[in-house]
Amino acid sequence: MSQRAGQWIDGGQQRRGGGSLYKCTRAIVDNASCPPSPSPLLPPPPHLSFCFSWPCLIVLHRKNKRRPPGNSGTTIKAHPQAPHGHPSSPLTLRVTGPTTWPFPGPQAARPYIFGKSRFSIFGIRFPPHLNTIHPSPVSSIPSIAPQITMSGLKITDFSVHDIRFPTNVTGDGTDAMNKECDYSAAYIVVKTNSDLKGQGMTFTIGRGNEIVCFAIEQIAKRIVGLDLAPIFADMGKFWDFLVSDPQHRWLGPEKGVIHLATAAISNAVWDMYAKHAGKPLWKLIVDFTPEEFVKATSFRYITDALTPAEALEILKSKESGKAAREAEVKKRGYPAYTTSVGWLGYSDEKVRRLTKESLAQGFNHFKLKVGADPEDDLRRGRLIRSIIDDPANMPKDRKPIDPASIANKNAGPTGCVLMVDANQVWDVPQAVEYMKKLEPLKPWFIEEPTAPDDAVGHAAIRKALKPINIGVATGEHAHNRMVFKQLLQLDAIDVCQIDSCRLGGVNEILSVLLMSAKFGVPVCPHAGGVGLCEYVIHLSLIDYICVSGDMERNVLEFVDHLHEHFLYPVSINSEGRYNVPTDAKGGYSIEMFEKSMEDYAFPGGAYWAAVARGENPAVSH
């Protein structure tokens, strides 16, 4: 990539530095250097110091109110030996600094730090005698990188791990579509030239996890060598980089295995960003200004449903109440529902026991897997209803249910709510007929009644079930924001169920949170899998505090499996609500214990090696 001579690239703003107000009105490139690069964040060739380096002449104007009208100020030319300059002795400053290529626009100005002064490049003009800009040896470019790059912090390496837990042994996770299920993580550790690391993963259910791991490796090669300063300064731009490889993109685009892999890497970098800031991921984003939130959000292909201006308006409308909502959710916790009572492979005895235990834990929303046989589903559903609708089974210290939290959810006499989930097993007409048979269970909604990409089909099912007051929920397999856009535009869903790994990471999830808020649809994230509960509590907190401002109708899925393998596991309080993650070192809460990673690594970990030898090792659940 090259830049034509004489072109201006504006980007910058006034900043305070050295006690005076400076405005850099022109930066004229002298002996410029720019490595050819097909992507904005690719690491530089070995003979260059940065992705985009240029020694240039910075011309600064220091405003002086004592000057007569018409004289805007004194021109100062500075260099590293005299960073503060002086009007009586103009000096030349030759700068080398990493940034992205092309140079960012006005909304993404990069501050350059010289001593105690902060200047921003306001414009760059390539002199007319330079037809194009070519690379030059690094030896000709003096570097001040340590002063402008968070002490040179950059990504140096990564490792990818195929981790599988044998949940199929106990029947955890089974449903009408997925009768065999070993909860698995395609897991990445992103490393830097410091102690800072980022952990990320995407979720699968066993076979094929190695395919996702391979895709993660291929994408992650592109981020090695990248400086973290510009990444953290513009996570939206970094996400665009991840999804825009001109060859990897062909495998999606933005869906399937390549998107699952993208999510793992994006989540790892967000985890690293939060740890570097010393905040849980949710708090990092909650503390964003509305403008910073919008900057981190992906709007490509969805501006017919939500524009950046509309998103900004939504966020600003919730700004004044953020502190109060944050305090409230820290005190009470975030509402949850349990799926652990209703896996298809569980015996009646186990369903009965788990339902009573869940009531004792404070839950009042319960989900049942359906779709294999309507008569059996009715029997199992009535079993759960007989327990949750009986006042004698309610805990003695149970607090009254807020009517707003169960309005239009077909709650029973005790205020308990039942939902059913078919995991995509039906065609559209089948879904309608099957759910009419399950009407006696009075479920709040049917989840994933048909193919996840069929927005028109979901709309037809919702319309057909509306007269019997059964809603439609979907989203855990909606692979990008465009599918959610269609579901919302077609009025096809009553509940939006984002998945932290099926979508391409935090940036794309922010898009869906904002769209759902605009269309007035509650977001109840999917969390049935290893590590997903740890992820999604952060996303629901962001939604409540910054976007929707509502958690009365929203409930976050909880499955009581495999949390013991994480350093910062989720927990549920006595009212059946998620506790808010508060550990400053926890990041995105997805860091696993090394022993768990070693024991359940596939195929050579201790557990799987024992299985290969014909042994029957103890199972973690």
Q: Which residues contact 437 (CB under 8 A, 6 or more apart)?
A: 374, 378
Does residue 102 have a cis bond before it (omega within 30 degrees)? Answer: yes
Distance CA 390, CA 570 (A): 29
Whether the CA torsion 557, 558, 561, 567 is positive or negative: it is positive
Residues classed as catalytic: 369, 526
Distance CA 77, CA 55 (A): 14
Phi and psi (nearest 5°) for 473? -130, 145
Radius of gyration of the chain (CA): 27
b vs e for 486-500, b when ≥16 Cβ sit within 10 Å of the residue's Cβ? bbbeeebbbbbbbbb
For residue 97, give the nearest of 184, 32, 20 by alpha carbon: 32
- DSSP bridge pairs for 474: 496
**Cβ–Cβ < 8 Å for 420, 473:** no
Return the SS3 of 454: coil
Return the SS3 of 157: strand
Distance CA 359, CA 2 (A): 65
Indicate the helix (H) or strand (E) that contains 369. strand 365-369
For residue 418, give the nearest of 354, 467, 369, 458 by alpha carbon: 369
Distance CA 352, CA 29 (A): 74
Distance CA 270, CA 272 (A): 5
Q: Which residue carries 């009535």 as its tokens?
A: 382
